[in-house]
Amino acid sequence: MRSFAFLKSIAGRVVLIGKPLVVDLDGTLIHSDMLHESALRVFRDSPFETLRIPFLLLKGKACLKQHLASRAEFTPKTLPYNEELLEWLKQQREEGRYLVLCTASDKSIADRIAEHLGIFDEVIASDGVSNIAGEHKAAALVQRFQQHGYDYAGNSSTDLPVWSQAHKAIVVNGSNDLVKKAQDIATVERVFPKREIGFSAWRRMLRIHQWLKNLLLLVPLFAAHDVSNGEAWLSLLLAFIAFSLCASSVYIANDLLDLDSDRLHPRKRNRPFASGLIPAWIGVLLAPLLLIISLAVAGLVGKHFLFWLLFYFALTCAYSWLLKRLMLVDCLTLAMLYTLRIVSGAAAVGHDLSFWLLAFSVFLFLSLAFVKRYAELELQLLSGKEKIHGRGYHTADAPLIQTMGIVAGYSSVLVLALYLNSDAVLKLYAAPELIWGAVPVMLFWVSWMWMQAHRGKMHDDPLVFAVKDRASLSAGIIFAAILVAGTVGVSW
């Protein structure tokens, strides 16, 4: 009965082609864990449903997996497959090897993945009653193929009992210590090296480059010409740390909840969580830890700043769960999130915000939010897609988004021009007529950003693009020089 797994008929002769090759799924065939991903999808779509997890776990891990799998939709095509292993498996398949996908994940998930790949002859998986992991997986495979009647590819210490009963072991994504343990109990046929998590991965996970946005906290201090206030600088330093940690916490949470959309994006699919480079469970633990530290630091700054930081966090959560899927509302929310940094900076140093600064900020950041969305639409258009996954936009909306963004950008320049004609400028600047030079600089920069977006050169985040773009940096330096000249009364 079992001999069909070992033999193949060639020209009427039965030829021995090797033992069945059994492959694990989580962490082996894919750089992820379907249980963790299912839980995240359920948390994203039905947060209160996750409250049932402890009670389902009491019925057994297999029961929990089946429940989550039934409520979490996923796309097999976009999963972060181990491409090196997958190519090897395809070669084995072409040579006539009998391939088995054996996983602790629920069978409904395993069946869909096996169907998508089209290389597996059989699927063995958890079924809501039996959790096919560790000793249970070893027993199931021995019953199916007899002791030492199969080769097995796995990735963790839970696979050691399976390797001990296998003919040969294939270690995938395992540490050097795991390889040694496998060699002690089985013949290791091949090792697929583990991907190392370097500093670059942690930097991209925390989005350290995005911390540059938090320099907006300094705007109220400069706008009030209070740069010599040492106490204010200390408060702003703490505020910067608090905002940066809070932002990283939000970025991690957003990436975990947006895995499907990120994997459909040509650049975002390489993010640490989307690519499976950093396990999702690390993000689940790290996000709340960073938030707690952030709030503790914010408390040192003051209750008003803490209030605005909490409001920022609440709005970002609303954006991640719902608002980013609503057309136009998403861009308005992004503009508010940028502006909230300026409001929080004012709260940190105890300064009042002027109507002019708030109006200028809202229009400018709304324009940048439209730049971001327009760039995504253009990218999707080049990919031949009609809609952005997880968003309310169609690629046909790109021209309208471009128009609204340009109008918002020029509106910010108009607000700046009106401000320069107000009494406040006469009080703050020694040579207010020099400040008028800021208007053409802003007109150039807004136009330049939209020109780059139109040419398909825009980054996913306009501010990140700006700090790397020579023209934008030059415009920023000239803008700052004009403000300094107007402040000290330097003549041309």
- pLDDT of residue 227 exceeding 70, the answer is yes
pLDDT at residue 4 in the model: 41
pLDDT at residue 1 in the model: 33
Mean per-residue pLDDT over the chain, rounded: 90
- pLDDT of residue 463 exceeding 90, the answer is no
| Residues 232 and 349: beta-carbon distance below 8 Å | yes
pLDDT at residue 390 in the model: 63
pTM of the model: 0.85
pLDDT at residue 17 in the model: 61
The more confidently predicted of residues 111 and 382 is: 111
The more confidently predicted of residues 98 and 379 is: 98
- What percent of the chain clears pLDDT 70, i.e. is strictly above it? 95
Q: Which of 257-261, 384-388, 422-426 has the lowest mean pLDDT?
A: 384-388
Contacts for 226-232: CB closer than 8 Å, 24+ residues apart = 226/349, 226/351, 229/349, 232/348, 232/349, 232/350
Q: What does the pLDDT average to over 138-148? A: 96
- pLDDT of residue 2 exceeding 70, the answer is no
- Residue 491 pLDDT level (bands cut at 50, 70, 90): very low
| Residues 467 and 473: beta-carbon distance below 8 Å | yes
Q: What does the pLDDT average to over 286-302? A: 97
Q: What does the pLDDT average to over 381-388? A: 72
Max mean pLDDT among 13-17, 114-118, 193-197 falls in 114-118
Q: What does the pLDDT average to over 450-470? A: 87
- Residue 472 pLDDT level (bands cut at 50, 70, 90): very high
Kindly give, in sequence order, each residue whose CB lies less than 8 Å from that of residue 477, ignoring residues fewer than 6 positions away: none
Give tens-digit pLDDT for 238-258.
999 999 999 999 999 999 988
- pLDDT of residue 340 exceeding 60, the answer is yes
